[in-house]
Structures are given as structure tokens and as C-alpha cells.
Amino acid sequence: MRVSTTQVFQNGVDSIQRSQKDLSRTQMQLGSGERILTPSDDPSGAVQSLQLTGAIEKLEQYERNSLSLQQRLRSSETVVSSVVDGLQRVRELVVQGNNGSQTNETRAMIAGEIRQARDELVQLANSQDANGEYLFAGLSSWTQPFEVDGEGKVDYQGDDGQRSVQISPARTVPLGDSGERVFVDIPNGEGDPQPLFETYAKIVEALETPVPDQQGSEDLNAAMASGLGDLDRALGHLLEVRTDLGGRMNTVETQSRVNEDQLLQVRTARSEIRDLDYAEAISRFNLQQTALQAAQQTFVQVQRLSLFNFL
């Protein structure tokens, strides 16, 4: 079989191009750190890698949700704890104000401190998170939940909705609580809902009312006893809210650890399929580099094999 000069030349060029292509592919693998650059490199592995990448993205989103949820719940729990502390201080003041040694003037001073505690309560109930959303406004998280009208009455402007956040494929956790649940729907002695603000206001009114005689003293004692009962019921209610928040925080933390373990497993599985074996790739790169040099040198030598070179 006769081989023309053109065929020899073309074969040499093809050999060099193949070597260059293989070397370029290995360089790209080394640069990206990935074994599979295109689906054709490993169709089955590419499909598995794509599926695992989707699973990783979902788990990472669950982790972001968990982090945001923990921050929000922690902020809510801190506010409720501050409200509980303030309520306990008000209870101490009520006991103090009901002492028979108090005068109208000293009771007025105690009422002033409780009035200040009520103002602080409104501020706490209007607390916001790091994004500027109100913690206790329900679904109306960009609306200030509590406003004081011209007569000093506190009105709730939010709603009773409750958002939930997904932290796993099968688990969602409420993001927060409405102000109606935390501060408004608190049962009084008759079982009717009585906002905590109103409980404070009734105590202040009773303490600021002068006590001129025995009947006035008895009325004050009755009002303070009723106020203490309302405060105790509110305290129990708020402790339940705080316990619920703590339980949700524990749930999120537990699920977050599960998600982290799953994320590690899935990333490891994807790495085994997709990631490059650097030792093998570097060895292959050196061999391909040598092959390319050999192909180039052979091509140069073959080019010289012409009848004209012997004439």
C-alpha cells in the first residue's frame, strides 16, 4: 500500500491535535478540580452529580431558614423574658402599694413607676428584628402592632396570623407569635380576654384614686387583689409563651444538626463522583505532555522524509 506525502502530513497533524486536545482537557480538569467537565465525559456520573447538587441546594436553603428562624425566635424569647421581668416588678409594686402604711402621695409615686413600666411594655411589644420587621404583628410584619391613642388606650394593629418556615422536607416551624396571642388574649378573673396593657392601666387608676376613708381603703384592697390575680394569670400565660418559644428553638437546633450531617454525606457522595483525583491527573498530564512533544518531534522528522532530500 502506497502512502502519499499528504496522508503522512495529515496523520501527523491529527496526532498532534489529539494530543493537544487530551492535554487541554486535563489542564481544564486541574483548573476546575472536577473530573466531569461535560455530560459526555461520564453520562451516569453527570446525572448523579446533578441530582446531588439539587439535594445540596435544598439542604443549604433549609440551613439558611434555620439560621433565620433561630435568630427570630431568640429575639422573641428575649423580649418575652424582659416582659416577664417587668411584670414581676409591677407585681412587687402592687404588693407595696397595697400596704396600709402608704399614703395617697406614695401610692401616686408607685402608680407613676407602673405607668412607666406600661410604656416600656408597649415598646417591647413593638420590638423589631434585624430586618426591621415587627416581631409581634402576625402576618402584618411591616405594620407597627401596638399604638397608643389620644386617651392612652393601646390598640392592636396587627393580625392573628402566624408564618411558618420549612427546615426539612417534612417539618415546618412557626416563625413567631402574634401580638394578639402574647399580649392581648390573656384571661382575667372572669375568663374574658384582658390585654396586659389594660391590667396595668387598671392598677394605675386604682393607686391614683385617693383613699379618704375605710370604704376607700377596702375598694383599694379589692382592686389590688384583682390586679394581683390578673398579673399572676398574665405571668403564667407569658411563661407558657416563653416555654413554647424555647421548644421551637430546640426543634430548630436539633433539625439543623441533622441537616448538617446530611449535607456532609451528600457533599461527600458528590465529591466521590465529580471531584478530580489530582495525583492521577497530574501523572496523566505529564504523560500527555510527553506524548505531545513526541508527536511534534515525529512530525518534524517525517516532514524531512522526501525524495528531494536525497537529490
Of 265, 281, 282, 285, which is closest to residue 35 (Cα–Cα)?
281
Q: What is the reported pLDDT for 14?
A: 54
Of 158, 164, 160, which is closest to residue 137 (Cα–Cα)?
158
Q: What is the reported pLDDT for 40?
A: 60
Of 194, 197, 192, 89, which is closest to residue 146 (Cα–Cα)?
197
| Alpha carbons 28 and 35: distance in angstroms, whole number | 9
Name the DSSP letter for residue 231.
H
Q: What is the reported pLDDT for 281?
A: 59
Torsion of CA 98, 99, 100, 105, to 10 degrees: -70
Q: What is the reported pLDDT for 176?
A: 84
Cell numbers representing residue 200 in the block: 396595668
Q: What is the reported pLDDT for 100?
A: 80
**Which residues have C-beta within 8 Å of that of residue 211, sequence separation ≥ 6?**
104, 107, 217, 219, 220
This prediction has a pTM of 0.75
Grid look-up 433549609 returns: 62
Cell numbers representing residue 62 in the block: 433549609
User: How many C-beta atoms surround the C-beta of residue 310 within 10 A?
Assistant: 6
Between the alpha carbon of residue 296 and those of residues 8, 18, 46, 302, the distances in Å are 13, 12, 34, 10
Q: Report the amino acid identity of residue 26.
A: T
| Alpha carbons 157 and 180: distance in angstroms, whole number | 9
Q: What is the reported pLDDT for 9?
A: 54
Of 285, 182, 158, which is closest to residue 243 (Cα–Cα)?
182
Q: What is the reported pLDDT for 16?
A: 58
Q: Which helix (H) or strand (E) holds 173?
A: strand 171-174
Distance of CA 63 to the CA centre of its chain: 7
CA count, 13 A, side-chain hemisphere, 301: 6
Cell numbers representing residue 158 in the block: 396587627
Q: What is the reported pLDDT for 53?
A: 84
Per-residue pLDDT of the chain (311 residues; tens, 9 = 90+): 454 556 555 555 555 556 556 556 666 655 555 656 566 666 777 778 788 889 999 999 999 999 999 999 999 999 999 999 999 999 999 999 988 888 899 999 999 999 999 999 999 999 999 889 999 999 998 999 999 988 889 999 999 988 899 999 999 999 889 999 999 999 988 889 999 999 999 999 999 998 888 888 888 999 999 999 999 999 999 999 999 999 999 999 999 999 999 999 998 887 777 666 556 656 665 665 665 566 556 656 655 555 445 44
Q: What is the reported pLDDT for 267?
A: 87
| Alpha carbons 89 and 235: distance in angstroms, whole number | 11
Between the alpha carbon of residue 107 and those of residues 76, 79, 89, the distances in Å are 33, 29, 15
Contact 75, 127 (CB under 8 A): yes
| Alpha carbons 69 and 89: distance in angstroms, whole number | 30
